A = this chain, B = another copy of it.
Amino acid sequence: MQHLIRTSDFSKEEILDIFADAREFLKSKPNEILKGKIIVTLFFENSTRTRSSFEIAAKRLGAEVVSLDVGTSSASKGETIYDTVANINAMKPDAIVVRHSECGLPESLKGFVGCPIINAGDGRHSHPTQALLDLFTISEHYNGETEGKKIAIVGDVRNSRVAGSNRRLLPRFGIEVNLVAPDCFKYESDDFKQYNNIREIIDELDIIMSLRSQLERHNLTYFESLNEYAKDYCITNELVGDRDIILLHPGPVNRNIDISDEMLKDPRTKVLTQVTNGVAIRAAILKKLILNKI
């Protein structure tokens, strides 16, 4: 039985198979591949958009979804997460999708279940389905020719789990990862080229991935104001010019902080394509993990 805790749980070949399925799902009508399967979503951290992406993905394949709002019940009765998960597992679901603010939590649940765990985000660590949909979006744009492409991941690269997962995944497909962040958000590692300002590297880039400035998560006091931050890190038409670059963002976008209004309307901006691809990629992952299990 296979889990998806981090992107390295899948080989390159497996990822390409997932992409092939996702491509198919984007073209075809809903089907019943997962008819009779029950998928539990267990979000200890609220995320309407990721949860509904999984829910729609599951339903497009004919599966049933049980959404457990875990903040409010068992937890308040003093039960540990491990007991909660062991209980849910005893109800014999076919997969459990978990989101939690603590790094490593989904990994630690593997011993308590008899079905695949899918990590829908754990702390600053990983968000593997997001990284896979990002890579898929890039790969589709370049007709699978990702080798040698250069990306800059821009923003809070230290705390972002989206950055974390992409940093590990993209190089496996030949994409050179560059990190662009103010000092306070720098990622402490020598594995990547790091820049303070995107202008230093923009001429070499094929892809920009803007990150969400996560105000609600870090209670920033680094900048006098978000507008200060935006001056250097907001992706605008003026910055991108007429370069042949595509722009990604995991959403939700802080308008005019992460990306300008005008740039959001630019056809090079793939934010909504990522959302569409996200449903297809999650459907392909659910199919793989649930059907392989049997």
Contact = CB atoms under 8 A, between A and B. Distances in A.
16 contacts: A30-B36, A38-B56, A38-B59, A40-B52, A46-B72, A48-B69, A48-B73, A55-B66, A56-B91, A56-B93, A77-B216, A78-B215, A83-B255, A84-B252, A90-B273, A90-B275
Nearest to A212: B77
Nearest to A215: B78
Interface in A265-291: 272-273, 275-276, 278-279
Contact of A66 (B59, B69, B253): B59
A184 to B, nearest CB: 21
A84 B251 CA distance: 10
Interface residues of A, number: 51
Contacts of A47: 73
Interface in A234-279: 251-255, 272-273, 275-276, 278-279
A251 B79 CA distance: 9
A76 interface: yes
A69 B251 CA distance: 18
